[in-house]
Amino acid sequence: MASVEATSQGPITRSRAHHQRTGSREEPYSLEERMDRMEDAVERMHETVEGMDTRVIELEGDVKRLRREFQGALNEGFDRLSKESSE
């Protein structure tokens, strides 16, 4: 028969107490495993952010190119209008 200890959380049998002690020995391993997973997740997020930064830079270049094209089109339109009005 298993011996029983009284605690504020209820009785703990010898097998449960043994499991709790074993679990506490395994805890650092699981913490290390968790840290590895967290580091992997942070690395993936960092790579994603770097990719987003690269894309933002590309988009900024696209915006500058489009502005030049729009400005050129506007200038061409104004030139045509001024030529037509002067004729």
Report if pTM > 0.75: no
Q: Per-residue pLDDT tens for 28-48?
A: 678 999 999 999 999 999 999
SS3 of residue 11 by DSSP: coil
Cα distances (Å, whole numbers) of residue 14 to 9, 27, 36, 39, 72: 15, 20, 33, 37, 85
Q: Per-residue pLDDT tens for 62-71?
A: 999 999 999 9
